[in-house]
Amino acid sequence: MSNNYNQISSFIWNVCDDVLRGLFKPHEYGDVILPFTVLRRLDCVLEPHKDDVFNIYEEYRTKVDDPTPIILNRINTSFFNHSKYDLKRLKSDPQNVYMNFQNYLGGFSDNVVEIIENFQLEKPVEKLNKNNRLFILIDKLTEIDLHPDKISNRDMGLIFEELLRKFSEMSNETSGEHYTPRDVVRLLVSLVFSEDKDDLQGEGKVRSIFDPCCGTGGMLTIGKEYIHQNINDKVKLRLLGQELNPQTYSICKSDMLITDEDPDNIRLGSSLSEDNFQGKKYDYMITNPPFGVSWKSEKEFIENEGQNPYGRFSVGTPRTSDGSLLFLQHMISKMESKRSRIGIVFNGSPLFTGDSGSGESEIRKWIIENDWLECIVSLPDQLFFNTGISTYIWIVNNRKSERRKGKVQLINGSAFFKQMKKSLGNKRKEITEENRNTLLEHYLNFAESEYSKIYPNEFFGYTKVTIEQPMMENGEIVTDKQGNPKPDTSKRDYERVPLLDDIEEYYQREVIPHLKGSWMDRDKDKVGYEINFTKYFYKYKPLRSLEEITRDLLKLEEETEGLMKEIL
């Protein structure tokens, strides 16, 4: 069959309908088909060495305790399968396919066994066997050729992502939790790496890229691809990631295994409550944390760490309904002291949710006052498969260039897209290469324009000042024992005074003319930060004149009268 990745993903999808329908519920299809697709890919990679591995294993299995080093050295791969079976060879003995399949799984090297264990295949395989469909599934899937010389690692990643998207839609899960559209990733990595172009030149450079929500690993592999294709193909890149979902973790780890990356650098568990890279620092970090996902299940652990002045969450925590800012705090804790750059995709909530003193505001304050926030790019809506909301890319850098110090660049990228001919879920727009290059140009130019604004850090801060009004009785001001006016709490008000304004001057100018007799309780001052993207890029549209509206009404009346005459 054709090796086009779209056709292959469609073929595999049809296998689900042909083989799994009626035996598994639609939302369970992924639990069966994804592991088998991984096994087929591993078989295709190992096929040239299959007989050699079997013979080497048979020769040394009684001579040494562990023949693994000998096998790996002989065939020069990072994994193997010493069983005489692969999926194709299992078809030669249909009567014993279940028993031989167990032998086949047991023949993999330990690093693959760990991947298979996380797929939790035992029960689905038993069910397939009892209903005489194990052989049929294997027979169908061996029709596809997934050899690396036919299907690149990039295309293999796209196949997995397309399948995941479809399975997620069927189970009403958020496919965005598994992976991010490639056009969004390409924009993100170009923003993260382009300013480091000079630093990444030369021989012998080694750099690390970390993703704490790595899904199937697409961001890591596209990040590596971007540097090698656009900056320097000689840079040695270490790819590291952590993933909560066992299924996508196993896909990511198997991909790293096949591409000669270190699969041990991909680890399972929640980055927030189970940091499997504790104490490690990285040069680059890129991620798309899940939008609007609750962290209630990890609340106790996170709040306990928040009490530690040296903990990741000591400056504050967001509301439990959306933990996206926690991932940014986690990444900031892993920044190299010499210099690190972070690219993260957010929805609008981290920009403005929470008043002064709230967890969200305190996190924004911490980031901006430390001069780490470099740039935010607003993206078009309808970019993601599972949601049509607007999203934003934040670039965070702990060693800004001289021209960027003390400043934040905002880029309005909401108009830079191409309408897709065919929508994919909620995704109806895509960022083309031309769009990406235009946005990258605005970023690198670091200049004011229609689409780019540059503000000092303080611009986003404000002091929330408490305005008290006196309590009145019978037209008289009520005072306390010291003769001071008692505040009327029912008439207490607040003013947000920009940090760039003098508070006293602001009060005299904006408050006193309207609230004579009021006063400021400065002991209650709270500094907050928010980023109002829409306000900064708002374009005033003048109202239409009365004459213009009248002309349109008269014209409409004439057309209506003519239409009525035709009808009558």
| Per-residue pLDDT tens over the stretch 261-280 | 999 999 999 999 999 999 99
Residues 6 or more apart whose CB falls under 8 angstroms from that of 67 comprise 56, 57, 60, 61, 82
Whole-model pTM: value is 0.88
pLDDT, tens digit, 9 for 90 and up, residues 179-212:
688 999 999 999 999 999 999 999 999 999 999 9
Task: Yes or no: say if 232 and 207 are a contact pair by the CB < 8 Å rule.
Answer: no
Mean pLDDT of 388-414: 96
Q: Which of 557 and 138 is assigned the larger pLDDT?
A: 138
- pLDDT category, 566, cuts 50, 70, 90? low
The span from the CA of 520 to the CA of 149, in Å, is 73
Query: Is residue 222 classed exposed, middle or buried when 0-12, 13-18 and 19+ CB atoms within 10 A define those classes?
Result: buried
- pLDDT category, 524, cuts 50, 70, 90? very high
The span from the CA of 430 to the CA of 42, in Å, is 32
- pLDDT category, 398, cuts 50, 70, 90? very high
The yes-or-no verdict on residue 425 having pLDDT over 50 is yes
Closest CA to 237 of 281, 278, 204: 204
pLDDT, tens digit, 9 for 90 and up, residues 12-58:
999 998 999 999 988 889 889 999 999 999 999 999 999 999 999 99
User: What is the strand order of the sheet 284-287 is part of?
Assistant: 266-268, 236-243, 206-211, 284-287, 341-347, 391-397, 373-378, 407-412, 452-456
What pLDDT was estimated at residue 556? 80
Q: What percent of the chain has pLDDT over 70?
A: 96
Residues 6 or more apart whose CB falls under 8 angstroms from that of 510 comprise 495
Mean pLDDT of 487-507: 94
The yes-or-no verdict on residue 176 having pLDDT over 50 is no
3-state class of 272 per DSSP?
coil
What pLDDT was estimated at residue 564? 64
Give the single-character DSSP code of 289.
Answer: P
Closest CA to 181 of 484, 393, 335: 393
Closest CA to 519 of 486, 496, 475: 486
pLDDT, tens digit, 9 for 90 and up, residues 284-337:
999 999 888 899 999 999 999 999 999 999 999 999 999 999 999 999 999 998
* Lookup: tokens for 186: 């390409």
Strand partners, 407: 456
Q: Which of 167 and 505 is assigned the larger pLDDT?
A: 505
Q: Which of 246 and 480 is assigned the larger pLDDT?
A: 246
What pLDDT was estimated at residue 157? 85
What pLDDT was estimated at residue 179? 67
The span from the CA of 328 to the CA of 525, in Å, is 27
The span from the CA of 243 to the CA of 262, in Å, is 15
Mean pLDDT of 509-523: 93
User: What is 363-412 written as a DSSP string?
Assistant: HHHHHHHTT-EEEEEE--SS-SSS----EEEEEEESS--GGGTTEEEEEE
- Gap between the terminal Cα atoms of the chain: 65
The span from the CA of 129 to the CA of 273, in Å, is 38
pLDDT, tens digit, 9 for 90 and up, residues 336-385:
988 999 999 999 999 999 999 999 999 999 999 999 999 999 999 999 88
The yes-or-no verdict on residue 82 having pLDDT over 80 is yes
